[in-house]
Amino acid sequence: MLIDFHAHCYPEDIWPKVRAAIFDRYGTQADNQGTIEGLDVKMRAAGIDLSVVQPVANQPKHVRPVNEWVESVRGLHKNMIFFGAIHPGVQNPYNEVCGLAVKGFKGVKMQPNAGGYYPDSKECFKIYQALSENGMILLTHAGDELKPFSPLYAHPKHLKNVLESFPDLRIVLAHLGGYKTWDALDLVLGYKNIYYDTAMSCELGDAEFLGLVERIGIDKVLFGTDFPWYDIRKAVDYTRNVLGADAEKIFKENPGKLLVLP
């Protein structure tokens, strides 16, 4: 089994607007079709058995519409698990997360840079409390963007207090702990329930990629692509070529354990 822990897709009518906005703000070009159907086609072509889809709410007003769309589609594709979207500015974020738990969501995605908030803020802590109490997973963007972002809300220094304050919360730090901020990786290492996905990390040189995986520990790494912003097949082939037999740990064993798959 191959599991992609970090993928995105959007409603067909929204996708063109999202693609243009992401390119304008972050400089990230999408050559893929970022819809559910587009994701499904690329998954099958690359041999991905299961994708964990990470919806994003850049503004508080987006939380409900995004999650309503997710609810309407998440049962239609057995090869996809959908997380929920959350933003700390939504009214009563604690209750919002608890509501997602009741509906069977396994976790939520947060993007501090896009949302304009620091992950160690008071309102974010309400989200983490709800996630922890409900046994849910947090996947959060960590680090910078392709186009340098300022202020850099998701710098690892703003995640350290989160990891220390919620030792039982299962957290996935995207981009091997911090895109383009790997010099600060030590700030977010050594915590029991923390994992790190490989989304957008395949452009690193082999030596740097392997060095980061070694520092983190292979048992804490999850395969992720960040589709549609990165090609799934390219990420799969790169990971296999660089990690060899160890790739199975991040493709299957680690994510399967985290998701509690049978």
Residue range 34-51: mean pLDDT, rounded = 97
The architecture that CATH gives domain 3-259 is Alpha-Beta Barrel (3.20)
172-194 per-position pLDDT tens digit? 999 999 999 999 999 999 999 99
- pLDDT confidence of residue 27: 79
- pLDDT confidence of residue 120: 98
- pLDDT confidence of residue 81: 98
Instruction: Write out the two tokens for 141.
Output: 């963007």
- pLDDT confidence of residue 170: 98
66-98 per-position pLDDT tens digit? 999 999 999 899 999 999 999 999 999 999 999
At 28, the pLDDT band (50, 70, 90 cuts) reads confident
Q: Which residues contact 152 (CB under 8 A, 6 or more apart)?
A: 113, 143, 144, 181
At 135, the pLDDT band (50, 70, 90 cuts) reads very high
Type of residue found at 65: P
At 235, the pLDDT band (50, 70, 90 cuts) reads very high
Percent of the chain surpassing pLDDT 70: 100
Residue range 149-160: mean pLDDT, rounded = 97
- pLDDT confidence of residue 193: 96
Does the pLDDT of residue 256 top 80, yes or no? Answer: yes
Tell me how far apart the alpha carbons of residues 228 and 20 are, in angstroms, rounded to a whole number. 13
Per-residue HEC secondary structure of the chain comes to CCEEEEECCCCCCCHHHHHHHHHHHHCCCCCCCCCHHHHHHHHHHHCCCEEEECCCCCCHHHHHHHHHHHHHHCCCCCCEEECEECCCCCCCHHHHHHHHHHCCCCEEEECHHHHCCCCCCHHHHHHHHHHHHCCCEEEECCECCCCCCCCCCCCHHHCHHHHHHCCCCEEEECCCCCECCHHHHHHHCCCCCEEEECCCCCCCCHHHHHHHHHHHCHHHEECCCCECCCCHHHHHHHHHHHHHHHHHHHHHHHHHHHHCCC
Please check whether residue 159 is in contact with residue 180, taking contact to mean a CB–CB distance below 8 angstroms.
Answer: no
- pLDDT confidence of residue 188: 98
* 145 φ, ψ (degrees, to nearest 5): -125, 175
181-229 per-position pLDDT tens digit? 999 999 999 999 999 999 999 889 999 999 999 999 999 999 999 999 9
